[in-house]
Structure 1
Amino acid sequence: MLYPELFKSMEAVRWNMATDIPWDDFDGSKLTDDQAYTVKMNAITEWAALPATEMFLRDNRDDSDFSAFMSVWFFEEQKHSLALMEYLRRFRPELVPTEEELHKVRFEFDPAPALETLMLHFCGEVRLNHWYRRAADWHTEPVIKALYKIIAQDEARHAGAYLRYMKRAILHRGKDFGHHARIAFSKIGVLMASAHRTPQALHPTNLHVNKELYPMDTVQSQLPSPGWLENWLDNQICFDNEWETRVSSRILHNMSLLMDNTFSTVQDLNRYRKELIKGLAPA
C-alpha cells in the first residue's frame, strides 16, 4: 500500500494556517481590488475538491489504497480553499464566498475511466503548481504572495503522489492492466500537454463532466464570474506560451520516466500511444 507512506511524508511537511502564514505582514496598499477578487475565485475553485473526491471514491471502489489517500488529498485541497477564505475574512471580508457560492460547484460528475481520471488530475496538479507560482509573482501584497507559494508546493506534492499510483498501475497490477494503463496515461498526456493548441485552459475544473448539465457542467461555469479564469491567465498572471511550454515539458518528462522511454515532444508521446494500441490488436 502507498497510503501509509504518503500520509507520513505529507504529514511531515504539512503547514499550519495559524502560524506558517505571515498574516502580520499584510500591506493593504499593495492589494488591488482585481487581485482580491481573484483570491475569491480561486477559493471557490479549490472548494471543488469536494465533488472531485466524491467522484474518486465512487469510481475507485475496488481500490481501497487510493481511496484512503483521498483523505489526505481532500483535506489539503479544502485547506487551500479555507486559507484563501481566511485571507479574505481578515482583509477583504466583503469578498468572502457565501455558502451558496461554494455549494454551486458541488454537482455530480459523470462516471469516467479511473485511469484516465487519475492521469487528468496528475496533469491538473502540475498545471496548478505553475499557475500558483505565476500568481505569487503577479500579486504585490506580501501575505497572499507567500500563501500562493505554499499552496503551489502542496500541488506539486499531490502530483507526485498521483504519479506513484500511476506507476503502481503499470508495474504492480498485472501485465494486461499495465498495458491498458499505459494507453490511458499516454492518451490523456497527449491532450494535456497540448494546451497551447486549444482555446480553453486544460484543467479538470474547466472540462465538461456532466452531460445532463451541459454546457453548465464545468466547475468554472458555476463560479460567480464564469469567464474569470481566461482573464486571470491571459491578462493578469500572464500565463503565456513560455509557461505553457514548462507545463508540457514537465508532463512529458514525467511520462518519459513512467513509461521508461523518451518523449521530447507531444508527437513522440502520441506515436507511443498508437504503438500501444496496435499491441492490443491481436486480442
Structure 2
Amino acid sequence: MLYPELFKSLEQVRWNMDTDIAWDQFDASKLTDEQAQTIKMNAITEWSALPATEMFLRDNRGDSDFSAFMSVWFFEEQKHSLVLMEYLRRFRPELVPTEAELQNVRFEFDPAPPLETLMMHFCGEIRLNHWYRCASEWHSEPVIKQIYKIISQDEARHGGAYLRYMKKALSVGSAVVADQTRAAFAKIGVLMASSRRTEKPLHPTNLHVNESLFPNDTVQSRLPDPGWLERWLDNQIKFDGEWEKKVVERILHNMSLLFERSFDTVQDLNRYRKEVTGRLALNPAA
C-alpha cells in the first residue's frame, strides 16, 4: 500500500496558506486587470478537482489504496483554488468567483478506463507544473509569482505520486495483464505528448468528459470565459514551443522510467505501444 508513505511525504512538505505566503509583499502597481482576471479563471479551474475526485472514487472502487490517496490529492488541489481565491479576496475582491461559478464546473464525468484516466492525469500534472512555472515568470506582482511557484511544486509532487501508482499497476497480475496496462499507459502517453499537433492544449480540464452534455462537457467550456485557456497560454503567459518541448521531454523521461526503455521521441513511444499491442493480439487472454 502506497497511501501511508505518500501521506507522510506530502505532509512533510505541505505549505501553510497563512504563514508561508508573503501576503505583506503585495505590490498593487504590478497587478493589471488582465492578470487578475486570469487568476480568477485558474481559481475556478482548480475547483474542478472536486468532480475529478468524484470520478476517481467511483471508477476505483476496487482500489482502496489509490482511493485513500485521493484524500490527499483532493485536499491539496482544492487548496490551490482556495489560495488563488484568497489572493483575490485580499486584493481584487470584485473578482472572487461566485459559488454559482464554482458549482458550474462540478458536473459528472462519464466512466472511463481507470488506467487511461490515471495516465491522463499524470500527464496533466506535468503540464500544470510547467503552465504554473511559466505563469509565475509572466506575472510581476511578487505574491502571485510566489503562489504560482508553490502550487507548481505541488503539481510536480502529485505527478510523482501518480507515477508510483502506475508502477504498482504494472507489478500486479499476469504478463498479459501487465501488457494491457502498458498498452493503456502508452496509448495516453502518445496522445498527451502529441499536443503540438492539436489546436487545443491537451489537459484533463479541456477534454470532453460527458457525452450527454456535449459540447458543454469540458471544464473550460463551463468557465465564465470559455475561451480563456487558449488566450492565457498563447497570448498572455506565452507558453511557446520551448515550454511545450519541456512538457514532452518530461513525459517521455517518465515513460522511460516506467517501462524501463529509452524514449527520445513520441514516435519511439508509439513504436513501443505498437509492440505491446502486437503481443496482446497474439495472446489476448488474461
Please state how far the C-alpha of 1:173 moved relative to its aligned partner: 4.0
- Could you tell which deviates more after superposition, 39-48 or 173-182? 173-182
**Aligned equivalent of 2:115:** 115
Please state how far the C-alpha of 1:92 moved relative to its aligned partner: 0.1
TM-score, normalised to structure 1, is: 0.99
**Aligned equivalent of 1:195:** 195
- CA deviation profile, 1:40-77 (whole Å, cap 9, x unmatched): 00000000000000000000000000000000000000
Please state how far the C-alpha of 1:175 moved relative to its aligned partner: 2.7
Distance in 1 (alpha carbons) for counterparts of 2:96 and 2:144: 15
**Aligned equivalent of 1:166:** 166
- CA deviation profile, 1:223-258 (whole Å, cap 9, x unmatched): 000000000000011000111110000000000010
Q: What amino acid is aligned across from residue 37 of structure 1 in structure 2?
A: Q
**Aligned equivalent of 1:236:** 236
**Aligned equivalent of 1:50:** 50
- CA deviation profile, 1:137-196 (whole Å, cap 9, x unmatched): 000100000000000000000000000000000123443322111000000000000111
Q: How does 1:184-223 map to 2 (within 5 A)?
A: 184-223=184-223
**Aligned equivalent of 2:133:** 133
Report the aligned-residue RMSD: 0.6
Distance in 2 (alpha carbons) for counterparts of 1:69 and 1:19: 26
Does the 8 A contact of 2:176 with 2:280 survive in 1? no
Query: SS where residue 201 of structure 1 aligns?
Result: coil
Q: What amino acid is aligned across from residue 127 of structure 1 in structure 2?
A: R
Distance in 2 (alpha carbons) for counterparts of 1:198 and 1:118: 21
Query: SS where residue 281 of structure 1 aligns?
Result: helix
TM-score, normalised to structure 2, is: 0.98
**Aligned equivalent of 1:177:** 177
- Whether 1:70 and 2:106 are equivalent positions in the alignment is no
**Aligned equivalent of 1:157:** 157
Q: What amino acid is aligned across from residue 138 of structure 2 in structure 1?
A: W
| Count of residue correspondences | 283
Distance in 1 (alpha carbons) for counterparts of 2:78 and 2:59: 20
Does the 8 A contact of 1:169 with 1:177 survive in 2? no
**Aligned equivalent of 2:144:** 144
- Could you tell which deviates more after superposition, 177-186 or 201-210? 177-186
- CA deviation profile, 1:116-146 (whole Å, cap 9, x unmatched): 0000000000000000000000001000000
Percent sequence identity over matched residues? 75
**Aligned equivalent of 1:226:** 226
Q: Which runs of 5+ in 2 are unaligned?
A: none
Query: SS where residue 278 of structure 2 aligns?
Result: helix
Distance in 1 (alpha carbons) for counterparts of 2:205 and 2:177: 28
Distance in 2 (alpha carbons) for counterparts of 1:178 and 1:124: 23
Distance in 2 (alpha carbons) for counterparts of 1:92 and 1:77: 22
Distance in 2 (alpha carbons) for counterparts of 1:15 and 1:263: 35
Distance in 2 (alpha carbons) for counterparts of 1:58 and 1:16: 30
Distance in 1 (alpha carbons) for counterparts of 2:241 and 2:27: 32
Q: Which runs of 5+ in 1 are unaligned?
A: none
- Whether 1:3 and 2:3 are equivalent positions in the alignment is yes
* Structure 1 stretches of 4+ moved >4 Å: none
Does the 8 A contact of 2:126 with 2:155 survive in 1? yes
Distance in 1 (alpha carbons) for counterparts of 2:174 and 2:37: 48
